[in-house]
Amino acid sequence: MNPIFYPILINSCFRFFSQILVFFLPIFLTQNGLSGLQIGILLFIYTITGILSTLPIGYLNDRIHSRKLIIFGICFYILYLLALSFFNNFLIFIPFFIFGGMGSNWVFISLDSMFFRLTNNIDPISKIKNLNSFIFLFAGLGAITGSQIIGLLNFQITFRLMAVFMIFLVLIALKAPNTPTFRFELSHYGKEVWKKKVILFLLIFFIIAMHFGAESTSYALFLKNNLGLSIQGIGVYIGLAVILMFFWVRLGTSMLKKGLNIISLLQIGLLLSGTFHILMTDSNLYFSFFSRVIHEAGDAFLSICLYLGISRIFSLERIGGLSSLITFTNTLAMSLGALIYGHVGEKYGYEWPLILSGIGTLLALILVRVWKKENKIF
């Protein structure tokens, strides 16, 4: 079996289950009587915990086999799921949201490190195409499947079922290959990061990630309250748009192979993502869904640029620690977005976080023009 199969399979399956929480967790917490501020605090705790563990776990991925860290991360996430299924108290949730944030970040950072090392910079566009397209396919299927299960059963039983299936992911991870390890002084990481082109790359994706924070607190609630969709309807709306990203990723990588440069793909992605994030707040369900589909095309292109940018900017030997820096800045942006937009959505309406974060995404185009002047490899 091709070793690259393991990070793609584990990542896709983990996304399948975690995607259920990404969009439906605010509804679950609202049904348990939590306020918008409390939901924002819990999501902030979830993401800030990920932030605090991101750089250390990235550094450890350069020194310890990623497979071991993936297993520990999944186990932490299982504890988080079980807590959600048995408790409904804000204060009790706090420590388990720490476990959830830490576990998910450990999994994703370690999977990325394993993926980049197994790719070894050989035909990265094709491998990024397979990774990202299947991640989005499984994430979309997870949103649809999860919404149907929640509708038939309830949130608590769904979370318990997810925890059981996560155990099977641990068994798959046990069979994953060991990745090469390296030892470097921390100063080596600093020298590679402290460059204008790297700082601009981080800033661009920081701004992009802010809109994911807005979605984590307001997207599902906008669909429920503004468009009047049921849990099942929300799952279909979200899931179908994400499933179509499977094809958008393949379109984007095909465009790169035919000669389009990464800067141009990044600009197209920002334009589509930002513009149609705003337009999806239209009250007409069909136009809103159409806008969401085009928005996801932009996000798919941006995901390609992120992975390809990491593979070209950073050295393979320090890819664990350096790619975790991207996760660090993105998670920080998501936590800030969740904290700000959770309050904005509750006070002014759930369409406003989507509109404002869409405008922010468009503003990132200014930074891209500056970044373009600093890069000759793109």
- pLDDT tens string 325-337: 788 888 888 878 8
- In angstroms, rounded to a whole number, what is the distance separating the alpha carbons of residues 15 and 161? 15
Nearest to 70 by CA among 99, 107, 113: 107
Within 10 A of 373 (CB to CB), how many other CB atoms are there?
10
- In angstroms, rounded to a whole number, what is the distance separating the alpha carbons of residues 318 and 339? 32
- In angstroms, rounded to a whole number, what is the distance separating the alpha carbons of residues 147 and 36? 22
CB 292 within 8 A of CB 241: yes
What are the residues whose beta carbons fall under 8 Å from the beta carbon of 135, sequence distance 6 or more?
A: 8, 11, 12, 15
pLDDT at 307: 87
pLDDT at 9: 93
pLDDT digits (tens, 9 = 90+) for 131-179: 999 999 999 998 888 888 888 888 899 999 999 999 999 999 999 988 7
Nearest to 16 by CA among 142, 115, 203: 142
pLDDT at 351: 92
Cβ burial of 64 (10 Å; 0-12, 13-18, 19+) is middle
Listed by start position, the domains of the chain span: 7-175+189-374
Residue 160 CA, chain-centre distance (Å), reads 22
> Within a 13 Å sphere around the CA of 218, how many CA atoms are in the beta-carbon half?
33
- In angstroms, rounded to a whole number, what is the distance separating the alpha carbons of residues 202 and 326? 6
Residue 271 has pLDDT above 90, yes or no: yes
- In angstroms, rounded to a whole number, what is the distance separating the alpha carbons of residues 320 and 298? 27
Nearest to 216 by CA among 46, 35, 16: 46
What are the residues whose beta carbons fall under 8 Å from the beta carbon of 285, sequence distance 6 or more?
A: 227, 229
Task: Name the band, by pLDDT with cuts 50, 70 and 90, for residue 39.
Answer: confident
How far CA 343 is from CA of 69, 218, 349, in Å, comes to: 35, 10, 10
> Within a 13 Å sphere around the CA of 141, how many CA atoms are in the beta-carbon half?
12
Residue 77 has pLDDT above 80, yes or no: yes
- DSSP one-letter code for 284: -
Q: What is the DSSP string of 98-120?
A: HHHHHHHHHHHHHHHHHHHHHHT
What are the residues whose beta carbons fall under 8 Å from the beta carbon of 330, sequence distance 6 or more?
A: 205, 206, 208, 209, 212
pLDDT digits (tens, 9 = 90+) for 275-295: 999 999 999 999 999 999 999
CB 7 within 8 A of CB 14: no
Residue 269 has pLDDT above 60, yes or no: yes
pLDDT digits (tens, 9 = 90+) for 22-34: 767 878 898 888 8
CB 322 within 8 A of CB 189: yes
Domain 7-175+189-374: give its CATH code: 1.20.1250.20
Cβ burial of 125 (10 Å; 0-12, 13-18, 19+) is middle
How far CA 157 is from CA of 23, 37, 139, 204, in Å, comes to: 17, 26, 20, 39
Nearest to 42 by CA among 99, 109, 82: 99
Nearest to 321 by CA among 102, 116, 72, 36: 116
pLDDT at 374: 62
pLDDT at 279: 97
Q: Give me the torsion for CA of 16, 66, 60, 81, rounded to 10°.
A: 30
- In angstroms, rounded to a whole number, what is the distance separating the alpha carbons of residues 310 and 124? 11
pLDDT digits (tens, 9 = 90+) for 181-193: 766 666 666 666 6
pLDDT digits (tens, 9 = 90+) for 305-314: 998 888 777 7
